[in-house]
Structure 1
Amino acid sequence: MASPTDPGRIDLGRRDEALLELMDDPDCDLGLLQRTYGVFPLVNGVVAGWGRVYRERLRPLLSAECETRLLDLGSGGGDVARGLVRRAARDGLRLHVTAADPDGRAHDWASARPAPGVDYRRASSGDLVAAGETFDVVVSNHVLHHLDRAARDAVLADSELLARRLVVHSDIRRARAAYAAYWLGTLPLARRSFVRTDGLRSIRRSFSADELRAVAPAGWQVVPREPFRLWLVRESGDRR
């Protein structure tokens, strides 16, 4: 496995869109990939900020009487989906999550970890649009930076069709301090999974707030959140 690059040796002034993440290789080591899915709950729990997304954006839409249907696009190992359902249950609110990922490896790993209130689907956003499906809310975690322009535009267009009320695509905000902190914090995970190498590559592929605003379609809002987060948000007037 390639060694992660030292923070002092890279240029973080621009996105490195040509840099590929190891887990995106269909021929990558399956054991390392599965261990990566296993570490995601820890890493996302520390860096991804879904507690704040839930409190600020999702919980106000939820109800104790009527079930809210949420779609998690590119759901990977399913930890974000399971975490959101647990948070809602603790608050006495009804939430059902469809965790969708087109990668069969992720789908198989997540499906082996069933959870009340979560359904796993091997599907892309385009598959769900073609099937005529809709949801109250659409979210994703660390998906946008993986996509080239055409794929990103397609996912955002699909998200508008799939979500009746709200879309929140949450991702990393590229910054040298974020890279340095992750470089140090993930030293114990080196060689055990792809988490360290791919996390650092993710930061290098990620957007600044201005870069994301420049490519966001009309009707979308870029919301920076500390530390080192960007939410790409679209709200609808449909409150059903």
Structure 2
Amino acid sequence: MDLRRRDVDLRELMDDPDCDPVALAQTLRRFDVVNRAVSGWGTVWRRHLRPALARLDRPARVLDIGSGGGDVTARLARLAERDGLDVGWVGIDPDPRALAVARERGRPDLEFRSTDSTALRASGERFDAVISNHVLHHLGEPELEAFIADSLALSRGVVLHADIERGRAAYALYAAGILPLQHGTFLRTDGLRSIRRSYRARELRTTLAGRGEWHVVRPAPFRVLAVGAGRA
């Protein structure tokens, strides 16, 4: 397997509008387990998001762009509640299949909407933080340009885009570690394709150069996090 370059021609099974709906729903539900194990959002919450929200000293609003099955948004909502922060969470995704799963995770402080960042930006809504998980590696050049511009325009504060970091160790460990969870899902095939499409930290720094003030860190093994400042 050649992982020296991003394989941008790969497409994930779950992105096919005609994919098996049962397998898709199971994939989205089991992302909760996968993301808890490998996504590093606990660290991102402690080091980046919680301090930014706590400094506001008022109720906050956070937007999750491309929220998929909603597990990351719901987990962060629980962490905010645990830490005594008053936060309203909005997850957006244009895919009604993902939205149906996300709405299974409903909470009073959590809302999922069928829309995208461009439409939300045009509506005039603004947030105290904007986040995403596993979105960057899906995007081609024109889509990335719009996504970054939208996320900066929608946030009055921090912008956090988290993703996988491509590498041989990440590929090998995921290929073996996902086996107990893969039955009836797209987790193994799509996860490995995602790794092959994803950025290395230096590539992401280069890609984001000139698109605002960003710095790229590694919050956990095999993870990259682009940290930016909103312009709203």
User: With structure 2 as the length reference, what TM-score do the two structures score?
Assistant: 0.95
* Contact 2:62 2:128 (8 Å CA) reproduced: yes
Structure 2 counterpart of 1:233, from 222, 227, 230: 227
1:186-205 map, 5 Å: 186-205=178-197
Matched with 1:23 is 14
**Which residue does the alignment assign to 1:155?**
147
What is the one-letter code of the residue matched to 2:218? P
Q: Which residue of 1 aligns with 2:72?
A: 80
**What SS does structure 2 have at the residue aligned with 1:170?**
strand
CA distance in 1, matches of 2:196, 2:206: 18
Q: Distance in 1 between matches of 2:230 and 2:21?
A: 40
Aligned length in residues: 229
Alignment of 1:30-109 (within 5 A): 30-63=21-54, 66-109=58-101
Same amino acid, percent of matched pairs: 51
1:96: Cα distance to partner? 1.1
How many Å separate the matches in 2 of 1:237 and 1:208? 26
Structure 2 runs not aligned, ≥5 long: none
Per the alignment, residue 211 of structure 1 pairs with 203
> Relative to 1, partners in 2 of residues 1:176 and 1:231: Cα closer, same or farther, differing over 3 Å?
same
- Distance in 2 between the 1:111 and 1:72 partners? 14
Task: Point out the more displaced range, 188-197 or 69-78.
Answer: 188-197
Q: What are the superposed Cα offsets for residues 116-142 of structure 1, whole Å, 9 maximum, x if unpaired?
A: 310011110001011111100000000
User: How much has 1:95 moved relative to structure 2?
Assistant: 1.3
CA contact (8 A) 2:62 2:129 kept: yes
How far apart in 1 are the matches of 2:103 and 2:180?
Answer: 28
Contact 1:77 1:109 in 2 (8 A): yes
TM-score by length of 1: 0.92
Whether the 8 Å CA contact 2:52–2:158 is kept in 1: the answer is: no
1:225 is displaced (CA, Å) by 3.0
Q: Which runs of 5+ in 1 are unaligned?
A: 1-9
Root mean square deviation, CA, Å: 1.5
Rounded to whole Å, the distance in 2 between the matches of 1:206 and 1:120 is 26
Distance 1:121 1:237, change over 3 A: closer
Match of 1:5 in 2: none
Deviation at 1:20, TM superposition (A): 0.6
User: Shift of residue 191 of structure 1?
Assistant: 3.7
Q: Which letter maps to 1:70?
A: V
Displacement of 1:115 in angstroms is 1.5
Q: Deviations over 1:137-182 (max 9, x none)?
A: 0000000001111111100000111000010000011010001110
